[in-house]
């Protein structure tokens, strides 16, 4: 079986920092790379990521660097930059990344091209085996070593199993699959539905309404995934339903929290201004709607979120339009 003793993590936000801790706990030699030399110096000096993950100590054994040349020694590379920053990161690093497996850890759809993120990575960093890590995870809990289950997808299941063994531990349990598309779609769409559920919370429309949105949002996720060739059971697992439940029901979720602030009357600029990290669902809402239209997939909740975020629609008008839709049988 393949083994991966030296792991590099690209991106020192909350998720990248947490994944560096995960790989270290699994017994790997870990390098955490950030594009900002000042951040690298601060992390080396304080062992604290105060901006993105305050209060969680970075293990002293984890090397921190802003020098891309140090990535050449890695046997696998985890790409933990935000979805819309992935293209720039790939361009900056492709001369330095070795031809080793890449693990995509972002959740979203590339807005500039409308492509799923595996296609973006394949275009920028060709010739490297690719896997995707996704599922119900809050970075802080992962970094603290609290129990977590997650999906690791790779077209080559042997690669998926080997990466799961390399990253897994008693508290971090990867389940592998070969359905890369299903895992990517689940991770992207759940952020959009989480914003919708946050709006419902902020408007105080009740738990019934949130449960309905979550369930019908899952139906939208399933329709898009199956149109792209994914398997239904993937979306009923950790990377679909599991991640959706987590993100759409907790104020710890940046997407839910942003939706809640919108529901309370804040503008998008105001709602984004209080977040320390990237709220992936904002850009993904527009990209999801474009992708759904290309494949003739009906996604009214995602379209309503996009209309509120990017097209000047009033929240009450968007909700009224959803509630005015014709009654129909429940068949997905």
Neighbours of 295 (CB within 10 A): 11
Give dist(CA 204, CA 201) in Å, integer. 5
SS3 78: strand
Q: Are 173 and 160 in contact (CB under 8 A)?
A: no
Q: Is 248 within 8 Å of 256 (Cβ atoms)?
A: yes
Nearest C-alpha neighbor of 176 from the set 191, 192, 190, 159: 159
In this structure, is the dihedral angle defined by the CA atoms of residues 206, 207, 211 and 212, taken in order, positive or negative?
A: negative
Strands ordered across the beta sheet of 130-134? 63-65, 29-33, 6-10, 76-79, 102-104, 130-134, 148-154, 172-177
Q: Which residues pair with 50 in a beta bridge?
A: none
Report DSSP letters for 96-142, one per residue.
TS-SS-EEE---SB-TTT--BHHHHHHHHSTTS-EEEEESS--HHHH
Tokens read off for 260? 């809640």
248: tokens are 């759409």
By annotation, the residues acting in catalysis are: 190
- Exposure string over 225-246, b if 16+ CB within 10 A, otherwise e: bbeeebeeebbebbbbbbbbeb
Nearest to 302 by CA among 294, 291, 312: 291
Taking residue 61's Cβ as centre, other Cβ atoms within 10 Å add up to: 9
């Amino acid at each position: 079986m393949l083994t991966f003793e030296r792991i590099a993590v690209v991106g020192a936000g909350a998720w990248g920092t947490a994944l560096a801790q995960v790989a270290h706990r699994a017994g790997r030699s870990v390098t955490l790379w950030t594009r900002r030399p000042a951040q690298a110096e601060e992390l080396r000096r304080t062992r604290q990521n105060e901006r993105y993950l305050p209060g969680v100590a970075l293990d002293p054994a984890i090397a921190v660097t802003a020098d891309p040349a140090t990535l050449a020694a890695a046997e696998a590379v985890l790409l933990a930059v935000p979805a819309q920053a992935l293209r720039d990161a790939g361009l900056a690093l492709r001369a330095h990344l070795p031809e080793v497996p890449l693990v995509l850890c972002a959740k979203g759809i590339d807005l500039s091209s409308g492509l799923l993120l595996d296609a973006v990575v394949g275009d920028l960093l060709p010739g490297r085996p690719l896997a995707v890590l996704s599922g119900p995870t809050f970075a802080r809990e992962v970094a603290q070593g609290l129990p977590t289950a997650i999906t690791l997808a790779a077209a080559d299941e042997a690669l998926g199993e080997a990466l799961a063994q390399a990253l897994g531990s008693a508290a971090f349990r990867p389940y592998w699959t070969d359905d890369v598309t299903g895992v990517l779609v689940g991770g992207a769409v759940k952020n959009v539905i989480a914003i919708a559920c946050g709006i419902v919370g902020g408007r105080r429309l009740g738990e019934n309404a949130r449960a309905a949105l979550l369930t019908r949002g899952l139906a939208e996720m399933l329709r898009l995934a199956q149109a792209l060739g994914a398997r239904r059971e993937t979306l009923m697992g950790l990377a679909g339903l599991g991640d959706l439940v987590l993100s759409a029901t907790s104020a710890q979720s940046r997407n839910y929290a942003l939706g809640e602030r919108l529901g309370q009357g804040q503008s998008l600029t105001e709602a984004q201004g209080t977040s320390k990290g990237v709220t992936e669902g904002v850009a993904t809402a527009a990209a999801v709607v474009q992708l759904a239209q290309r494949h003739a997939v009906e996604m009214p909740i995602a379209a309503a979120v996009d209309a509120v975020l990017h097209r000047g629609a009033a929240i009450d008008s968007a909700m009224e339009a959803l509630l005015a839709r014709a009654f129909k049988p429940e068949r997905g």
